Structure 1
Amino acid sequence: MKQSIYKNQNILVLGLAKSGTEATKILLRLGARVTVNDRTPIEDNEQAKQLQDEGAEVVCGSHPETLVHEGLDLLVKNPGIPYDHPLIKKALHMRIPVITEVEIAGEIAACDMIGITGSNGKTTTTTMTASMLENSPKNPKAAGNIGEVASKVADASLPEDILVVELSSFQLQGTNRFKPHIAVFLNLIEAHLDYHGTMDDYAQAKARIFRNQSKDDVLIYNADDPLVSSLAEQADSTCIPFSTQRIVDGGSYIKDGDIVVLGEVLMRRDDFSLPGDYNLSNGLAAATAAMKAGADPEQVRHVLASFEGVKHRLQYVDTVNGVRYFNNSKATNVPATVKALEAFPGERIILIAGGLDRKLSFDDLYAPMGQSVKGLVTYGETADKLAEAGRSAGVETILKTTTLEEAVRKAEEISEESDIILLSPACASWDQFRTFEERGDTFIEAVARLKEDKL
């Protein structure tokens, strides 16, 4: 299949970045005739120049609609490009398939795949799953949003490997035949509606992770999430639930303080390394997927007991003068911040929040802020809205700042020994930062400078 499926096809790759670049290289090697179209002019586009040297036709700086024509067999889009892009609209109107590079990964992989999706927790679960599969009969290769482009890893895969792929709704919407052998569906909350349009469209994009599965495949799903559970009822797969709230038949759960995975008691819940029920939920999902794929239970147990988390996802940063600092920059929406606050029951928290104003409500923060937040420091476009939310929640101390660096300083000023200062913005980063990673790194650097000043 690797050698023939795309041979002699006329393919347009729209948008480069990492995914488009890797997809083009693979398609060229598989014998396709590839045209690359990217908005960055060729003189400033090193990736396009490289692909041109490798045999691709390159059109950069604009998006001529003539690139989509009757002789085009396939359009491969960068996941971030919306479906109202003129070239994509024209292709769909002409019934030309529009895919993302994840579809290519599924077609060319020489081994089984575990696909992991959900609104929150994908990276943590993917990382844990891959770690749990170490020292097993299968050689785990993590890919997707977690690091290497999925198609690149799939192209180099061997039968003895197993791909563990983090999948976004943007990637999944661009799939037609894609089918991981094991699919993991973590949760579903209102997100990315500026891209998908409606909650139903967003949910249906996520559900593509199992749409092509058969009874021989496995869907591991969150029984505590009503929408995920409802979608799972439509699956033809062998469905395995997991739950932190109740015992679920044939699945994974907590019983009498024990973590039970597929009927096997692995360890005490108190020995799990990460805070919060949502991390426990991720751990159950990862353990279930890993054990279904043949992981050694002892390795699964070791990861559950020792996993230190993923950078920018409730990451412990440092302790300064008895105050612990946590970086949860990945919390780009309200539900993620709610879960972060709930991860520290009984603690005194100073919350740093703010970012891009997407005109969304912060009402769901009232209850958790009222329970544990002693101080709120806001910044960025949503500083005023979040401050108002804090007042409605009864937070005793509220400070508004302009930048994240200033917010860290203000949070330290109102802190006392044993407090937690938590960056969990509840907003996207794009008002002041290019990515949530850049935002988290800025927080880490601000904490380091603060510590130096205190020495």
Structure 2
Amino acid sequence: MKQIESYRHKKILVLGLAKSGVTAAALLHKLGAFVTVNDKKPLSENPEAQGLLEQGIKVICGDHPIELLDEGFELIVKNPGIPYYNPMIEGALEKGIPVITEVELAYQISEAPFVGITGTNGKTTTTTLVYEMLNVGNKAPLIAGNIGTVASGVAQAATAENTIVIELSSFQLMGIETFNPKIAIITNLYDAHLDYHGTRKEYIEAKANITKKQTELEYLIVNADQEDTMEIARHSKASIIPFSTKKKLTNGAYIDEGWIVFNGERVMEIEEIALPGVHNLENILSAMAAAKLSGVDNKAIQEVLRTFTGVKHRLQYIGEISGRKFYNDSKATNILATVNALAAFDTPIILLAGGLDRGNEFDELLPYLKNVKAMITFGQTAPKLERVGNEAGIKTMKRVDNVDKAVPEAYRYSESGDVILLSPACASWDQYKTFEVRGDIFIEAVHKLK
């Protein structure tokens, strides 16, 4: 960890706790800053805040008092989930107080270079693939970011011998100033989080921040099959490494005659790859490119791709019961993710879907429901999904209270050779705290069937 002096004796407000806020507050305190933590949860229900209080850090809980901004703060480190239209953030920006996320802090103290991965879909799978390839290739990677480990915590332990492989959300990328990954990946871009960003343009601009400080000495791996991603590439100063699942490229990562190829070199036959789903080829190509640029040999890449079957909650294979195969795709919190999951199978599917109603309809699913023989719905969007199921001609539809009850119903309507797929096409927040909780309940229900 770099012992930077830029925060010593600075008055800094950490807004919002959770894992990233707790780690950032403790780090800034260690770096000599005068830290105040402000979290909406009451102190009596906030063990994280209590722990910071014990370290001598000032803690204000229960509300976000706007008058706090009059106390002369020189910087705000905000939780990524707090939107920029929050009155505290709007007030800070009006006063000229810089606002960052803890990813920026992690970059400033890190001795290790970063490989940063962003995009709408495939971030976690790609991040995990890059980490595994670097690990098998003896490159001493560490994994961080939106995947579940706090970047500024990982960066404190990193040395120059490590590489930090980090998954980055648009929320995190809006709060960076100097962050400059050695290698950046943009997997793809679709409409997402517009309730946070307001417009598609602002969402794409947030994603583009991953490359805004890159120079020709760094690399941007970018999806050549999308105009939005290539537009970002045209404005980047980085060395551009394109990837494509649809066309043969003069350089970069692509598919040729059943092989995945990097800069003209055949690396592996597609039929040997364990990870299911055509959409995962995007993730594989971009991860392979990052690994090759990091000096990983083909043998290590092949070993990972022959054995890696997916990330938990992302088209995760759970097991087989009486000829039925169960897949947990709880991370499918939008329609596109469910489209990709449905396209991964050519066998009959029992689809478990539903969740938070964000006001959208599900007509985009219609062309992809041809293999769905039964649909089990739950949550706020159950009626909307049933309407689409009726239009698709699905003969069997059953509404249940929750995922736990959906699993035995799905089994009841299934036969040997069927796939039972949890791919909700919706966020989980109407019934579950996170998509991980929803996925764990699915897994547990499958084990109960066994």
When normalised by structure 2's length, the TM-score is: 0.97
Alpha-carbon offset, residue 62 of structure 1: 1.7
1:152 aligns with 2:175: no
Q: Label 1:364 to 1:33 Cα distance change in 2 as closer, same or farther (>3 A).
A: same
Aligned 1:280-319 pairs, distance under 5 A: 280-319=281-320
SS in structure 2 opposite 1:183?
Answer: strand
Give the equivalent residue in structure 1 for 2:84.
Answer: 83
Q: Is the 8 A contact 2:354 2:385 kept in 1?
A: yes
Deviations 1:233-284 (A, max 9, x none): 1111101011111112210011011111233211111111111111111011
SS in structure 1 opposite 2:56?
Answer: coil
Deviations 1:379-417 (A, max 9, x none): 111111000011112223222222222221221111111
SS in structure 2 opposite 1:2?
Answer: coil
Give the equivalent residue in structure 2 for 1:372.
Answer: 371
SS in structure 2 opposite 1:11?
Answer: strand
Q: Label 1:135 to 1:401 Cα distance change in 2 as closer, same or farther (>3 A).
A: closer
- Range with bigger deviation, 271-280 or 397-406: 397-406
Partners of 1:273 and 1:201 in 2: CA distance: 36
Q: Is the 8 A contact 1:145 1:168 kept in 2?
A: yes
Aligned 1:4-83 pairs, distance under 5 A: 4-69=5-70, 71-83=72-84
Q: Is the 8 A contact 1:262 1:288 kept in 2?
A: no
Partners of 2:432 and 2:33 in 1: CA distance: 38
Counterpart code for 1:427: C
Deviations 1:109-147 (A, max 9, x none): 101100000111111111110110125463100011223
Partners of 1:395 and 1:229 in 2: CA distance: 39
- Range with bigger deviation, 49-58 or 14-23: 49-58
SS in structure 2 opposite 1:299?
Answer: helix
SS in structure 2 opposite 1:431?
Answer: coil
Aligned 1:277-356 pairs, distance under 5 A: 277-344=278-345, 346-356=346-356
Q: Number of residue pairs matched?
A: 449
SS in structure 2 opposite 1:134?
Answer: helix
Q: Is the 8 A contact 2:8 2:33 kept in 1?
A: yes
Counterpart code for 2:208: A
Alpha-carbon offset, residue 325 of structure 1: 0.7
Q: Is the 8 A contact 1:272 1:280 kept in 2?
A: no
Counterpart code for 1:413: R
Q: Is the 8 A contact 2:136 2:304 kept in 1?
A: no
Partners of 1:112 and 1:249 in 2: CA distance: 28
Identical positions, percent: 50
The runs of 4+ residues in structure 1 deviating greater than 6 Å are none
Partners of 1:10 and 1:190 in 2: CA distance: 38
Give the equivalent residue in structure 1 for 2:400.
Answer: 401
Partners of 2:136 and 2:28 in 1: CA distance: 33
List runs of 5+ in structure 1 lacking aligned partners. Answer: none
Q: Is the 8 A contact 1:137 1:160 kept in 2?
A: no
Partners of 1:384 and 1:63 in 2: CA distance: 37
Deviations 1:19-57 (A, max 9, x none): 000001111111111111011222332221221222311
Partners of 1:226 and 1:404 in 2: CA distance: 38
Counterpart code for 1:348: P
Partners of 1:135 and 1:353 in 2: CA distance: 36
- Range with bigger deviation, 14-23 or 49-58: 49-58
SS in structure 1 opposite 2:376?
Answer: strand
Counterpart code for 2:146: N
Partners of 1:276 and 1:348 in 2: CA distance: 15
Alpha-carbon offset, residue 70 of structure 1: 6.8
Q: Is the 8 A contact 2:276 2:309 kept in 1?
A: no
SS in structure 2 opposite 1:133?
Answer: helix
Counterpart code for 1:384: P
Q: Is the 8 A contact 2:250 2:263 kept in 1?
A: no
- Range with bigger deviation, 308-317 or 402-411: 402-411
Counterpart code for 2:416: E
Partners of 1:433 and 1:141 in 2: CA distance: 30
Partners of 1:402 and 1:127 in 2: CA distance: 33
Partners of 1:439 and 1:78 in 2: CA distance: 23
When normalised by structure 1's length, the TM-score is: 0.96
- Range with bigger deviation, 30-39 or 221-230: 221-230
Partners of 1:45 and 1:229 in 2: CA distance: 44
Give the equivalent residue in structure 2 for 1:239.
Answer: 240
Q: Is the 8 A contact 1:135 1:296 kept in 2?
A: no
Aligned 1:46-445 pairs, distance under 5 A: 46-69=47-70, 71-136=72-137, 138-344=139-345, 346-369=346-369, 371-445=370-444
Q: Is the 8 A contact 2:39 2:64 kept in 1?
A: yes
Q: Is the 8 A contact 2:353 2:378 kept in 1?
A: yes
1:450 aligns with 2:449: yes
Partners of 1:245 and 1:393 in 2: CA distance: 28
Alpha-carbon offset, residue 63 of structure 1: 1.6
- Range with bigger deviation, 389-398 or 24-33: 389-398
Alpha-carbon offset, residue 66 of structure 1: 2.3
Partners of 1:24 and 1:273 in 2: CA distance: 41
Partners of 1:400 and 1:135 in 2: CA distance: 45
List runs of 5+ in structure 2 lacking aligned partners. Answer: none
SS in structure 1 opposite 2:254?
Answer: strand
SS in structure 2 opposite 1:35?
Answer: strand
Partners of 1:363 and 1:232 in 2: CA distance: 32
Partners of 2:247 and 2:171 in 1: CA distance: 32
